[in-house]
A and B are shown apart, each in its own frame.
Chain A
């Protein structure tokens, strides 16, 4: 069942410069994707590509000057982009939960962690305090916190990074969400702890049949924990499809470049890595945002770019999707 449908979402930062002229940074330019229950979607991209902004636009957490200027976000058929805040508040934290990157700053430093879990449950349910407390202990146990009774009495500063991330996960599960958005859930954690948290996350997704969006810059996390991948560049999803297929046969030059820059594929001295500046969001070129960095770019790339479905479910935003030869872009350039 399709839970979340995002269509042609545009988010702009609208500000005024020193001469009072309007300046617009086009941060999201027509983002579309959908997410089914029980599926894990990994969103990857470089800094500034619009990964976190996509999540914030979906759940309506944008602050001025950022604004959704066009497009729609449908959650179980309900439109979220023009929903009043009061109504959104009933959905956020209950049906849609979010786990963010820095677990310690997301917890209230002046409240014991157990009380924070109870508080979140009380806001959204009519049950008694005792019921909420019982559920808090259950969820702490579900995320593998040893001795939840005594841990519930801890203060946030007493928790290690891994433990704080478990508390946040427990908190996100308190109201049995249908959609879980995890923004860099393991960045900053050690690899052995990251492995624990990701294993846990995958078990929880299967157990509670949640639709899950993981935002990350770590392709390893996507390769081993996600069903589908969406690659973002310059505020657009440039390629999306099943993980195994995208890694085996990337279509978009940017994806090819990204995958060939991973330690597993990268050949030292074999080819020149393609870096380059991220596109200027105030002044995007007509057509493809990658054209100045792309080895395959032609005059055609200045025209509006089609989103081509090359194999079922595997799309790329490129005039030449499916028509490029099998060699990765960086070798052509070298």
Chain B
């Protein structure tokens, strides 16, 4: 077992909203990612997925907890010392149109991180820029264009080329394919998987789309109201989800194949406000198998027999499985 690239312990982020109230975006998250591994992070809007990605890269300051990157604690080091580290930790954002400066040429956009982080001569830099463009399957004839001339899929390839330009050890991808059409999306995911296998970079893949996450992830963490409610190997999580929320989330996912019949556990209501978090288990307000104890006791993270970790008080007594309703 190699040492993890990223090791996060008890990480929390609270945003003040006035009057001593806080948005509890991330609450005590533990996770680690090994080199060459992809951790998929799923959750609904407001579950804190994007905030978590930003806090890990110190784009947003954490409130509590620790972030260990490549063996060094980077939680409290001054931001001036974080910047050189960014060579090894990169990010790809959801919307490639707003992530790229519309007035720069594609060539300069890809060369920018090289200029910042790598002491290369001008011709070496040009060579590397063109090699990167070819690596992400972008025609080098596009290098002198500006972003307005490229399609969404091509722009996302530019963003990926920028992210891998400095051979980072960790890449955080925040919904990198959500704004793309289906046929383009598959190509981008394949490219990411190839890059991961070639460079052994660790990836944190944030998405709300379970189908996409399943395609690329080795392990998956499910986030609900800023808390990891279940974490484990992707195939285990999809085959035998332990937490009632994971079960509901998986059953709400519609596979794009009418031959796959889905059993639905439709959850009542919507996600509670992260300003006034529910007591006890944060999921008890929507949980179909909640008992009285769930309202008062905070569930610990426990190891499930199938191998994953989950936070649910009903796992020991076997009451965590939502019973299938017979179709009416």
Binding site for B on A (CB under 8 A): 46-47, 160, 162-163, 190-196, 199, 217-225, 243-244, 247-248, 257-259, 261-266, 268-269, 272-275, 277-278
Residues 263-307 of B, flagged 1 when their CB comes within 8 A of A and 0 if not, give 010110011000000000000000000000000000000000000
With A46-B181, A244-B258, A257-B183 in contact, do A264 and B44 touch (Cβ < 8 Å)? no
With A261-B185, A263-B212, A269-B190 in contact, do A191 and B255 touch (Cβ < 8 Å)? no
Q: Are A223 and B257 in contact (CB under 8 A)?
A: yes
With A263-B212, A264-B211 in contact, do A194 and B183 touch (Cβ < 8 Å)? no
Residues of B within 8 A of A244 (CB): 258-259
A–B pairs, 20, beta carbons within 8 Å? A160-B270, A191-B249, A192-B252, A195-B251, A196-B266, A199-B264, A219-B256, A224-B258, A243-B258, A244-B258, A247-B256, A247-B257, A247-B259, A263-B214, A265-B256, A268-B189, A269-B190, A269-B194, A273-B183, A277-B151
Q: A192-B248, A196-B266, A223-B260 are in contact. List 12 more A-B contacts (CB 8 A).
A: A47-B181, A191-B208, A192-B252, A194-B252, A219-B182, A219-B256, A247-B259, A264-B211, A268-B215, A268-B216, A275-B183, A277-B151
In the assembled complex, how far is the CB of residue B83 from the closest CB belonging to chain A, in whole angstroms?
35
Bound-state Cα–Cα, A194 to B208, Å: 12
Residues of A within 8 A of B10 (CB): none
Residues of B within 8 A of A248 (CB): 259
Total A-B residue contacts, Cβ distance less than 8 Å = 119
Bound-state Cα–Cα, A243 to B254, Å: 14
Q: Are A223 and B187 in contact (CB under 8 A)?
A: no
Category for how many chain B residues contact A? 35 or more
Residues 230-258 of B, flagged 1 when their CB comes within 8 A of A and 0 if not, give 00000000000000000011011111111
Residues 141-175 of B, flagged 1 when their CB comes within 8 A of A and 0 if not, give 00000000001110000000000000000000000
Q: Are B254 and A268 in contact (CB under 8 A)?
A: no
Interface centre among B189, B210, B257 (most CB of A within 10 A): B257
Q: Are B181 and A259 in contact (CB under 8 A)?
A: no
Residues of B within 8 A of A272 (CB): 187, 190
